[in-house]
Structure 1
Amino acid sequence: MARNRNNRNHNNRNQLAAKTTAKSTGNKLFPQLVEKTVTQTRQDIAKWKAALNGFNNTDSPSVYLLYNLYDSILDDALLTSQIENRIQDTLGSSFNLSKKGGDIDEELTTTFQNSELFNDLITHIINSRFYGHSLVELDWKQDGLNEPQLKADLIPRQNVLSKKGVMLFDYNEDKGIKYREVPEFGTWVLEFGKPGEKGLLNKAVPHTLFKRFAQSCWSELCEIYGIPPRVYKTDASDPAAVARGKKMMQDMGSAAWFIIDTEESFEWAKGVNTNGDVYGNLLNFCDNQNSLLISGAVVGQDTKHGSNSKEQASQKLLSKLVLADMAMVEMYMNTKVMPALARIGVVPADYVFQWEISEDLGTLWERTVQALQHFDVDPEWVKDKFGIQVTGIKQNPTPVPGTNLNVAESFFV
């Protein structure tokens, strides 16, 4: 039976190889986009409010200001790390591809396990939580002399009016195409997320902007606190004395000495009486809020009031969010991606995507040891599951610490 199944899989591979040269019909959306240069300007709360007003405009929505702001705040190291933690935890998990209700297709699973196509699709699906929406176009692309590979291009969110189902060729103009009405939609063009949603990043905007403000002010404080202003006293009514004083202060630079007239004086201004606690507290508050937003808890930042139990509880909350991301990925993969790939000819029809459930080997080992008191356990299963080479039954009985099991009743050596 196993040989027949392998033959069927081999036949499926041959059939798929003949289909992978299929091309999509009609014009591609991604090549029609007008590439734009995004200027780096100072962002503040007023610009965030203006971007929200444009996004929420019913008659003539404009989303590019908000998504440009999202790209800007992702320069923040903590926010990026929190998002990457969730994405990488999902990408690092193993999945299986199998016919619905059938055995796992090991060859097909191995082919796509670390493929660029599936990694990109999973990333775009998870990012729909943070951005609110993702529109992806599949296309065959060839790198050099290599065989063409199916790849997923993300349509820039600045160009997508998801509430109206319109993709703008230039986000500064109103000329576009209703992408849900093109024949390729659902096969070559895939949509993830809820139309009109702003995503979690919208809630991170004010905290990130306030954090930048606090960092800027704190850096200025460091400059003033480390090198207090210098005060030079002279006859302000004498232009020559004033000019001489300006030149003297410029020439002094970082030198520790200079010469002044006996009628003039020089002193250091009194420095500020704070070490920047007010800015540090604002920075910590903003970091904690973004950590709560993305990870569900303050994970790894609070070293002053942290504890092992607190970190463990935080990791459990983060794990629950990762599991929710994985459930969403599995849902979109089975309802949109796998049917689309089947129509393209990359996977057989009626194949499903499933995450591989990881086992707690510590708990399983304890249960195995307890089961040995009453049941026979397959040595091959023990070898495959725990990596223990079982060669026979040990005849000399010795007690196993922590259990009532006699090793003479087991087969471990």
Structure 2
Amino acid sequence: MGKNRNKGDKTLLQTPFGTLRLAKNVAKRFRKTVMELQRTTDSLTRKDIGDWRMAWQMAINVENPNRQRLYDIYRDVEIDLHLAGCIRQREGFVMARSFKLVNGKGEEDQKAAEWFNTEWFKQLMKFALDANYWGHSLIELGDVTTDTNGRKCYEWARLVPRKHVSPEYGRVVEQLGDDWEKGVDYRSPEIAQWLIEVGQPDNLGLFLKAATQTIPKKNALAFWDTFAEIFGMPMRIARTTSRDGKELAKMEKMMADMGTEGWAIFQQGTEIEVVESSKGDAFNVYDRRIDRANSELSKLIIGQTMTIEDGSSMSQSETHLEVFQNLVEADCDMIRDMVNNQLIPRMIKHGFPIKGIHFEWDYGIDYTPEQQVAYEQLVLDNYEVDPAYFQEKYNMPVGERRQQVPVIGSTPPDDGGEETKGNKKQHTAKPQPFFD
């Protein structure tokens, strides 16, 4: 009786953690919120081109732009393995490049570079590069603190959740689904001094285009798995004249359990037939569609295919590498402008002693260890080198350079084939040719 009575009470909510009693004035609103959250969770499991087009339409709405559904699709796009490899390759070239801090005279300031050789700056660069694919990144700088060496640094660099940001109007909303007018203006001077904004307000990123390939690719992989499940293994057919239900059930169990090195005992008159699939392989249908999707993704992210896939010739690969390097240079320019125009002014305002310093990439030649040894040996053989160079570079004590003793060889014989020993001349035998 008590169970039936509680079932009709709308102020009671059954949860895995127990029964909650809600106030009457909020019960209806709370249940509506729970239903909306559940519906959103279900929609994340099924994405197709129709969902992508609808999410795109919502994101470009002029009066009330909303990128939440589009970002849900971007989450599915992001886990594509080939796409992730392309992004890692492109971002890796930027993150691995050396940089330097120079003063107004163009001289390198190695002491100023110590303020940027930190974890928070690397994380800031990573979030900034992600703006190429998501369209926009709003990065928050942590409180100013000191590191283990006593130098000033930011506690962290953290990404503001993209679903809460409306870059078209420069607002951050507290609750998902709220209009941008209810949000906080993050471009106001009081708040902007702790924020770094990367990306154009109306840019939706490269993931918008990548979704046109990752969604069909995911479907092709799922269909291929279904094809392999149906046609990959031969079908086993058992024919019998028995009508005994127990015997039929026994035969069914034997057929179901018949796997590797399987065996079974059947009644006389039972026939077992193994039918091979007459369908051809799915290579021309599914594998080529997946390869085409990977090729399109490579062209989108890294501008070509041969630096991440198999190439056909050295000349073509060099051309593709030049295209890829142009994209890397564009990313480097974006990072440089972000640091010089946004980060350094904020650091100066927060008390970092880097006034008059600007960020530049170090385009010096990077030698391999073998090339470095050959280069240094060439210089040592022809010029005098200050020992402080090796002491500073290799962090090892270096003394004065040793004077090399020249090697004195024996006196060559004269033209007559004779050599002098004391006051006498001795004739040396000339070598005879092997053939007469």
Contact 1:64 1:158 in 2 (8 A): yes
SS at match of 1:80: helix
The answer to whether residue 258 in structure 2 is matched with residue 252 in structure 1 is yes
Alpha-carbon offset, residue 218 of structure 1? 2.4
Match for residue 209 of structure 1 among 207, 211, 215: 215
Alpha-carbon offset, residue 232 of structure 1? 3.2
Q: Which residue of 2 aligns with 1:121?
A: 124
Which structure 2 residue ranges, 5 or more long, are not aligned? 1-36, 372-381, 395-399, 408-436
Q: Give CA deviations for 1:302-349 in whole Å, capped at 9, x if unaligned.
A: 43x533333332222211111111111111211111111111122433
Alpha-carbon offset, residue 161 of structure 1? 1.4
Matches within 5 A, 1:1-400: 39=41, 41-113=45-117, 115-140=118-143, 149-174=154-179, 176-234=182-240, 243=249, 245-254=251-260, 256-278=262-284, 279-303=286-310, 306-359=312-365
SS at match of 1:137: strand
Alpha-carbon offset, residue 390 of structure 1? 9.4
Q: Give CA deviations for 1:153-187 in whole Å, capped at 9, x if unaligned.
A: 11111211111222122323447423345333431
Q: Distance in 1 between matches of 2:259 and 2:404?
A: 84
SS at match of 1:111: coil
Structure 1 runs (4+) deviating above 4 angstroms are 36-40, 141-148, 234-245, 360-363, 376-381, 389-396
SS at match of 1:267: strand
Q: Distance in 2 between matches of 1:308 and 1:138?
A: 45
SS at match of 1:112: coil
Alpha-carbon offset, residue 273 of structure 1? 2.8
Q: Which residue of 1 aligns with 2:34?
A: none
Q: Give CA deviations for 1:50-69 in whole Å, capped at 9, x if unaligned.
A: 22122122233221111122
Q: Distance in 1 between matches of 2:133 and 2:273?
A: 54
Question: Structure 1: which amino acid aligns with 2:237?
Answer: V
Go from structure 1 to structure 2 and tell me whether the alpha carbon gap of 1:125 and 1:236 turns closer, same or farther (over 3 Å shift): farther
Contact 1:68 1:158 in 2 (8 A): no
Contact 2:112 2:354 in 1 (8 A): no
Q: Distance in 1 between matches of 2:81 and 2:179?
A: 35
Alpha-carbon offset, residue 378 of structure 1? 7.7
Question: Structure 1: which amino acid aligns with 2:169?
Answer: K
Go from structure 1 to structure 2 and tell me whether the alpha carbon gap of 1:309 and 1:390 turns closer, same or farther (over 3 Å shift): farther
Q: Give CA deviations for 1:220-248 in whole Å, capped at 9, x if unaligned.
A: 33344442232334579986676555434
Q: Distance in 2 between matches of 1:186 and 1:104?
A: 30
Go from structure 1 to structure 2 and tell me whether the alpha carbon gap of 1:257 and 1:64 turns closer, same or farther (over 3 Å shift): same
Q: Give CA deviations for 1:345-388 in whole Å, capped at 9, x if unaligned.
A: 2243332111112237799xxxxxxxxxxxx988569x78x99x
What's the RMSD between the two structures over aligned residues? 4.1
Q: TM-score, normalised by structure 2?
A: 0.69
Q: Give CA deviations for 1:1-57 in whole Å, capped at 9, x if unaligned.
A: xxxxxxxxxxxxxxxxxxxxxxxxxxxxxxxxxxx9995513222221222122122
Q: Which moved more, 1:151-160 or 1:256-265?
A: 256-265
Q: Distance in 1 between matches of 2:159 and 2:107?
A: 33
Q: Distance in 2 between matches of 1:292 and 1:112?
A: 33
Alpha-carbon offset, residue 209 of structure 1? 1.7
Q: Give CA deviations for 1:141-161 in whole Å, capped at 9, x if unaligned.
A: 779999774321111112111
Q: Distance in 2 between matches of 1:236 and 1:153?
A: 72
Contact 1:98 1:352 in 2 (8 A): yes
Counting matched residue pairs gives 355
Which structure 1 residue ranges, 5 or more long, are not aligned? 1-35, 364-375, 397-413
Contact 1:187 1:341 in 2 (8 A): no
Q: Distance in 1 between matches of 2:124 and 2:134?
A: 15
Go from structure 1 to structure 2 and tell me whether the alpha carbon gap of 1:222 and 1:163 turns closer, same or farther (over 3 Å shift): same
Go from structure 1 to structure 2 and tell me whether the alpha carbon gap of 1:264 and 1:170 turns closer, same or farther (over 3 Å shift): farther
Go from structure 1 to structure 2 and tell me whether the alpha carbon gap of 1:84 and 1:240 turns closer, same or farther (over 3 Å shift): same
SS at match of 1:289: helix
Q: Give CA deviations for 1:117-146 in whole Å, capped at 9, x if unaligned.
A: 221222222222111111111121779999
Relative contact order, CA 8 A, sep 6+: which one is greater?
A: 1
Go from structure 1 to structure 2 and tell me whether the alpha carbon gap of 1:172 and 1:239 turns closer, same or farther (over 3 Å shift): farther
Q: Distance in 1 between matches of 2:137 and 2:183?
A: 16
Go from structure 1 to structure 2 and tell me whether the alpha carbon gap of 1:58 and 1:238 turns closer, same or farther (over 3 Å shift): farther
Go from structure 1 to structure 2 and tell me whether the alpha carbon gap of 1:235 and 1:197 turns closer, same or farther (over 3 Å shift): farther
Question: Structure 1: which amino acid aligns with 2:293?
Answer: C
